[in-house]
Amino acid sequence: MKKIISYISVALLVVAIGCNDDDNNLPVIKPEKTGMVTIGENTYEWVRYAGLDWMTSNFKEGTPYYELTYINQYGYTDDLIKDCEDLTPEEWDRYGNLYSYEEAKANAPEGWRLPTDEDWKKLEKALGMSPGELDDTGWRGSVEGELIQQDETGSGIHLLLAGYVSLQPGTPLFQYLRQVREYGYYWSSTVDESYTQSTAVYYRRIRFNSSQIERTSTTIEEKDYVQNVYKRFMSVRYVRDAQNN
């Protein structure tokens, strides 16, 4: 069921590109417009770039991924996610939830969507990435990786280094939270049609103190040696077409 959402718009901002001596001479990129949307008990700010409104914090509705459990092949119930204990409550709140690909699509609030690969490329172009790099895979760009992590004092997009959850090889097999505080992983909704063995989709990865953004694809789930299926979990930013408000 879609949740009731309310919107608050704020004044139009002008896109500014210039030189910022306080941030390693990065270009100054500002959104065309900003606003807020309330979903359930949480309020999310958004920024507008190239005709798209992007949430500026990671989505956090639904059951937290670190509370999930899994019934293993022997019938025992395991905590699904291991090695989460070192994060502070403030970090849990700031990083938001991590979602499987199916959850990421299904949880989109009314009027919003999981961004497509093309949506991400529009944002990267608005931040200055050259058209010749947009369709490349791997790490691309020059300064866009830093710009996309800036808070409201800069671009306002503020992608976070919340890590991801994947199967840990070895015995016993568990799903682990990996690379938190080092990398951020964000789903797109676009399936990589070149991968035929199972469903794979494009995603974006950012890293600490990096000027680039990675575009690549991965399978949405993985299997252990006895064919148990484990979902991958990543962060989610929802997007919508610009509203007339």
- Closest C-alpha to 14, from 31, 34, 36, 35: 31
CB atoms within 10 A of CB 216: 14
For every one of its 245 residues, what pLDDT tens digit does the chain have, with 9 covering 90 and above? 333 333 333 333 333 333 343 456 899 999 999 999 999 889 999 999 999 999 999 999 988 887 776 655 555 555 556 656 567 778 888 999 999 999 999 999 999 999 999 999 999 999 999 999 999 999 999 999 999 999 999 999 999 999 999 877 665 667 788 899 999 999 999 999 999 888 999 999 999 989 999 999 999 998 877 777 888 999 999 999 998 75
Find tokens 């509370």 and name the residue.
67
Task: Show the CA angle centred on residue 2, arms to residues 204 and 187, nearest 5°.
Answer: 10
The single-letter code of the amino acid at 99 is Y
- Retrieve residue 55's tokens: 């949430």
Q: Is 148 exposed, middle or buried (0-12, 13-18, 19+ CB in 10 A)?
A: buried
The structure's pTM equals 0.86
Report helix, strand or coil for 177.
strand
